[in-house]
Structure 1
Amino acid sequence: MAEKKQFQAESQKLLDLMIHSIYTHKEIFIRELVSNASDATDKLYYKALTENISSIAREDLSIDLMIDKEHRVLSIRDHGIGMTKEELELHLGTIANSGSSAFKTENEHDDIDIIGQFGVGFYSSFMVAKKVEVVTRKFGEESGHIWVSEAIDGYEISPCDVDNNGTVIRLYLKDNTDDDNYDEYLGEYAIQSLIKKYSDYVHYPIKMNMTTYQPIEGSEETQEVIENKTLNSMVPLWKRNKRDISKEDYTEFYKDKFNDFNDPIHTIHTSVEGTVSYDSLLFIPSKPPMDYYSNDYEKGLQLYSRGVFIMDKATDLLPEHFRFVKGLVDSQDLSLNISRELLQQDHQLKFIADKIEKKIQSELEKLLKNQREEYEKFFESFGLQLKFGIYHSYGMLKDKLQDLLLYYSSNQEKMLTLQEYVDAMPENQTEIYFASGESYDKINALPQIEAIKDKGFDILYLIDNVDEFCFQMMRDYKEKAFKNVAQGDLDLQSDEQKEEIEKQVEENKGLLELIKESLQDKVVDVKISTRLKTHPVCLVSSEGVSFEMEKVLSAMPDGNDVKAGRILEINPTHPIFEAMQKVFEMNQEKINDYSSLLYDQALLIEGFSVENPVEFSNKICQLMIDASN
């Protein structure tokens, strides 16, 4: 006879919380019930091991799913330890009483991997079911019991005939509403997809009868075939011995799990045992996804606990500067919250995150050292992220990331590390020179680089918007300061050369002042150039904001007021300077037009637009007319 009972532990309030608040997604119920079935099977297997019960073999143990579409019932059956009437009351009548947690505390064995912790997962059933039946028989008992509940009015327990040990949970699904379609949990392929997502690595086969339609030989018609199919792979790739896993195995897993058509550049497979134990399988993609540099991209690693999927994007496990890494972490030591959906912020999580960061760092360093071509492919795709890492950390990540950076060398015409640049520096070079622009070809044509090249010094070409900001945060490398060839004084002259420049400045003081006056507030100064060799004129920026920084900041919504100080430099050895001297002596009124043309020319060389292109064009035309007369 059925015995009516009420739930314990603030029954209805807590049960209502379980159904409506704790779990974010209704589909989680399948993970919880399969995990409970796995725990029950583990308990029986543990009993067989410790009591030497030869009739129980691991290969005979499975978890079975059954769909009854007519009556809208989904069933999950295990062949595990089962429960007595008292255990039904204890574990299903008292919410948050975990039999699995108690079992883990009392027993330890290498082959047993109990999942449950809180004793609440079973009640996720009521998110999708209006009625739940639990039919169970304890191993070694002659009869079983049935537990029935519709959540609201408590539960009933009554004896019943059960052929074998184990437990069957029958979910009588709720009626569909405008907001929820519960029929989806009666679809074979929908259930298969959920098992693949949440319980693919439960280490017992999860089986279900799947209907397929196969062609009838000699006919265009098909016949319905029902196949008892195993839905899960059981053994995670990351739990296998690395010696038994081929590169192709890793690649196939990566492409399937992370929806990438391209092979990963590098794979990192790690198993750590100790105070906090975990397995990680990380991949460095070969190309960034389309949304990588947008706000839509979500970083993070997949999180598993004892092979059971917990969440897709555990953001705290990856530092921002390594956000390109894809992969997963599986640990039995993480502290999860009650719904097994989110991580608690604790020292285990931080420990794993620190270890993963160091591992990624060391693997990138090895890749750079031993597989340079592969590393350069990686850097082409994700080097920008490393630079942003230094910039956004205000240089705090400098020591970690600076030796992973690559820049194009003007001398060697290939990518170099900063260490390789410094190692090749001649003894008389004291700074690391760089030039910025849209492309290597455009930088190579800049007039400002002539003096540096003439000295034989190498120049690093920077083409990313963040490059100069990154160098600004780094300040130096191995006590060698970074020096922009288009900013400030390069100080490359000998004492004799400096004396000659001072003499030229003094002799042409009036001309330089008149040019500056004619340009008004467009420039902060006009100088005799020490960096030009063949070009007539150039612009350089004063200390602080450079021209490239101005371009980047001006493209931002609130950066229009940021301007670099413009210094117009004229080559004293170029014929144009001699022409300016003659104009100054004969007709100073033309200095305004000549100065304006030189300034606009320098603007165009630097990649800026001229303020008045029509006026610039007219002056060019007038100059050509004057020259022909």
Structure 2
Amino acid sequence: MAETAKQTREFQAETKQLLDLMIHSIYTNREIFLRELISNSSDAIDKVRFNALTNQDLLEGTSEFEIYLLPDEDTKTLTISDNGMGMTYNEVIENIGTIAKSGTKAFLQKLKDSGSATDNELIGQFGVGFYSAFMVADKVTLVTRAPGQAKGVRWESIGDGTYTIEECEKETRGTTIILSLRAEYCSPENSEENFLNKYTLQNLVKKYSDYIRYPIKMNFINEEKERDSEGKIIEDAPVVKTTEVRTLNSMTPLWTKNKSQITPDEYNNLYKELFHDWEDPLEIIHSKVEGAVEYTTLLFVPARAPFDFYQREATSGIRLYSKNVFVMDNYKDLLPEYLRFVRGIVDSPDFSLNISRELLQHSAQLKKVGKNLEKSVLKSLEAMLSKDRAKYERFWKEYGKAIKSGVYSDFSSREKLQDLLLFPTSSSDELVTLADYISRMPEGQSVIYYATGKDRSSVERLPQMEILREKGIEVIYLLDRVDEFAIDALSQYNDKKFQSISRGDLKLDDVSSDSKKETDELSKENESLLTAVKEQLAGKVADVKISSRLKSSPVCLISDDNGISISMEQILSEMDKSMFKARRILELNPTHDVFKALKNTFEKDANSEAFKDYCELLYGQALLLEGLTPDDPISFAKKVASLMAGTK
């Protein structure tokens, strides 16, 4: 096989931007590069170790795994090497040269959108991994070989937007990264950021990588004079130099210890190490279960959702171990979809080391573990809500949509999740639970009122809110696209049904029989007018009624109790499900001057253009009040202009 010649390639445009940001101090905490590279090495060893369970040839006779650090003051280089999986020529191009693998487009957009984001926020959401090397190095060289490959691959870049790649000789599998450090990061005067200083490196490994499960080694030179037979130093003897290979990390799996022996910092450091985050987790759940199924679990709720959390391609899941040996990463079927934000490990002696995802899906033991974990997470969230509301609201800000999705997508979970829901309301600046709302309901209120809209101000401007505001009735605001799906799925809470202020009868129990009688009489008195408006708006509305809910507004658009709501119709339309239509009802305020003008125009000439325009304008106004665009904006604007000019 002919050797591939050395090539020079260009990074994508986004990669160039990223490298430029790395080089020009995007992060103040430059030492993070070491943790990133060590974590990559650990992942590579995990991969070869797991794959070797079914293919021993991958080990190439070496089953002792290690990560080695080699600082060299003469060449001003720091080398990080491992005997993990290594990469092929094409894998180097795909994983190192192609930026799409790192989520950098979203990373760069986040930088533009949020100038206040901290280092920790960004590194937690976007694992820049390998590219962090350019924060401290003028040149980065990568030499790698995958098991079974005759040749290795050499990759090199100075961070100028290009890189070279060629085949090379490499005797052992794995990856070696050589950082040619910038002068300021190998200066003896810069004690904290001298990354050639072995004690600085030792401290950084202890700080960030102590729980990496493979030994991280480094050579130390000991200088000592000879000693006599009694162990005393011989003063005039020459100094003898010896090399000592030290393991810098403890490698003790934290989850095997008793909870009382583990400090919060130890938990936090393990989480950051395992899941490449730079913020402490919001919540930690550590438990050991013995019985028919024996397992230890250590779960974390991250402080922030990843940038791609609500995208289909987002990766998440639980790490499975058997007797501290890694079995599988990102196993998604252990917890329900709505808890996909939970990260952590489950270690059980009952797990087989050689097991496929397909077999795991049918494992009765694993299903039982999953149900127990679900209960543990929900119990922890309930405790957080009752004991630390501020902390729970931070959780809700990040993962509330996931919990709400569980309400409408998982029938069996609705009761479990309903008390975890939070909503803004008309009566509070704080988020409230459904239980909070029920506790504040006045005597006689029979339903839970809600309103949908894009934001708080748009909901508060809805004409349907007027009568409820006047009566001092609290209204739940549904401002997320998923909210109405969740409310429809719940249907009721504590025997109180949910009632949209824009659907059907408002069920205001304190409305007097006289008011209802008056509305009925007005409807009968104006029956011919209502019929004429309905005919004029045929195909747009299903009915036209006299309103009992309007106070100052002339018109509103509602849907009846049967079928979907108008807001749901809009959401489904955006999802290319436009076959679902709301049954729209136009309600008119009989006390408003506009109604009187409409009635006068109708009585003068029911077939006039002016009456037809009034009908269209009222419908267009009702759409605008709902946050919708009139069917024909140009025609609507012309009718408004004509009306203002007095030509109609």
- Matched AA of 2:150: N
Provide closer, same or farther for how the CA distance between residues 528 and 262 of structure 1 changes in structure 2, counting only shifts above 3 A: same
The aligned residue for residue 268 of structure 1 is: 285
Provide closer, same or farther for how the CA distance between residues 392 and 207 of structure 1 changes in structure 2, counting only shifts above 3 A: closer
**Residue ranges of structure 2 left out of the alignment (5+ in a row):** 1-47, 71-80, 89-146, 154-166, 179-204, 222-240
1:422 CA displacement: 1.0
Matched, 1:377 2:407: no
Q: Deviations over 1:188-240 (max 9, x none)?
A: 779xxxx99999676xx95756599xxxxxxxxxxx99651326523112222
Mean Cα displacement is larger for which, 583-592 or 569-578? 583-592
Provide closer, same or farther for how the CA distance between residues 498 and 175 of structure 1 changes in structure 2, counting only shifts above 3 A: closer
1:586 CA displacement: 2.4
| Contact 1:310 1:340 (8 Å CA) reproduced | no
The aligned residue for residue 424 of structure 1 is: 440
Matched, 1:555 2:574: yes
| Contact 1:526 1:569 (8 Å CA) reproduced | yes
- Matched AA of 1:252: N
Q: Deviations over 1:558-601 (max 9, x none)?
A: x1222211111111111111222222222431211111111001
Mapped partners of 1:515, 1:419: distance in 2: 43
The aligned residue for residue 615 of structure 1 is: 635
Provide closer, same or farther for how the CA distance between residues 413 and 28 of structure 1 changes in structure 2, counting only shifts above 3 A: farther
**Paired residue secondary structure (1:397):** helix
Q: Deviations over 1:282-337 (max 9, x none)?
A: 11112110111111112311122222222211223222111111111122222343
The aligned residue for residue 157 of structure 2 is: none
The aligned residue for residue 545 of structure 2 is: 527
Matched, 1:176 2:163: no
The aligned residue for residue 597 of structure 2 is: 579
Matched, 1:312 2:329: yes
Matched, 1:358 2:375: yes
1:424 CA displacement: 1.2
The aligned residue for residue 479 of structure 2 is: 463
The aligned residue for residue 498 of structure 2 is: 482
Mapped partners of 1:593, 1:369: distance in 2: 56
**Paired residue secondary structure (1:520):** coil
| Contact 1:22 1:339 (8 Å CA) reproduced | no
Mapped partners of 1:31, 1:299: distance in 2: 33
**Paired residue secondary structure (1:569):** strand
Question: Whose Rg is larger?
Answer: 1
Provide closer, same or farther for how the CA distance between residues 19 and 388 of structure 1 changes in structure 2, counting only shifts above 3 A: closer
Q: Deviations over 1:264-289 (max 9, x none)?
A: 21111112223322221111112110
**Paired residue secondary structure (1:351):** helix
Mapped partners of 1:339, 1:482: distance in 2: 45
Mapped partners of 1:184, 1:524: distance in 2: 76
| Contact 2:557 2:622 (8 Å CA) reproduced | yes
Provide closer, same or farther for how the CA distance between residues 339 and 352 of structure 1 changes in structure 2, counting only shifts above 3 A: closer
**Residue ranges of structure 1 left out of the alignment (5+ in a row):** 1-17, 36-62, 68-73, 77-123, 129-172, 213-223
Selected match of 2:429 from 396, 409, 413? 413
Mapped partners of 1:279, 1:20: distance in 2: 21
The aligned residue for residue 11 of structure 1 is: none
| Contact 2:424 2:432 (8 Å CA) reproduced | yes
Mapped partners of 2:398, 2:485: distance in 1: 19
Matched, 1:335 2:370: no
**Paired residue secondary structure (1:396):** helix
C-alpha RMSD of matched pairs (Å): 4.0
- Matched AA of 1:268: I
Provide closer, same or farther for how the CA distance between residues 225 and 328 of structure 1 changes in structure 2, counting only shifts above 3 A: farther
Selected match of 1:250 from 264, 267, 287? 267
Q: What TM-score, normalized by structure 1, do the two folds share?
A: 0.67
Query: Identity of counterpart residues, as a percentage?
Result: 39
Provide closer, same or farther for how the CA distance between residues 499 and 244 of structure 1 changes in structure 2, counting only shifts above 3 A: same
Mean Cα displacement is larger for which, 177-186 or 534-543? 177-186
Mapped partners of 1:175, 1:406: distance in 2: 55
Matched, 1:33 2:63: yes
- Matched AA of 1:33: S
Selected match of 1:298 from 298, 315, 320? 315
Q: What TM-score, normalized by structure 2, do the two folds share?
A: 0.65
| Contact 2:333 2:361 (8 Å CA) reproduced | no
Selected match of 1:517 from 497, 517, 535? 535
Mapped partners of 2:50, 2:398: distance in 1: 44
1:625 CA displacement: 1.5
Mean Cα displacement is larger for which, 565-574 or 248-257? 248-257
- Matched AA of 1:323: R
Mapped partners of 2:356, 2:558: distance in 1: 61
Mapped partners of 1:422, 1:496: distance in 2: 29
Q: Deviations over 1:107-156 (max 9, x none)?
A: xxxxxxxxxxxxxxxxx99xx9xxxxxxxxxxxxxxxxxxxxxxxxxxxx
1:31 CA displacement: 12
Matched, 1:435 2:451: yes
| Contact 1:188 1:210 (8 Å CA) reproduced | no
Q: Deviations over 1:423-476 (max 9, x none)?
A: 111121010110001011111111112222222211100011111111111111
| Contact 1:450 1:531 (8 Å CA) reproduced | yes
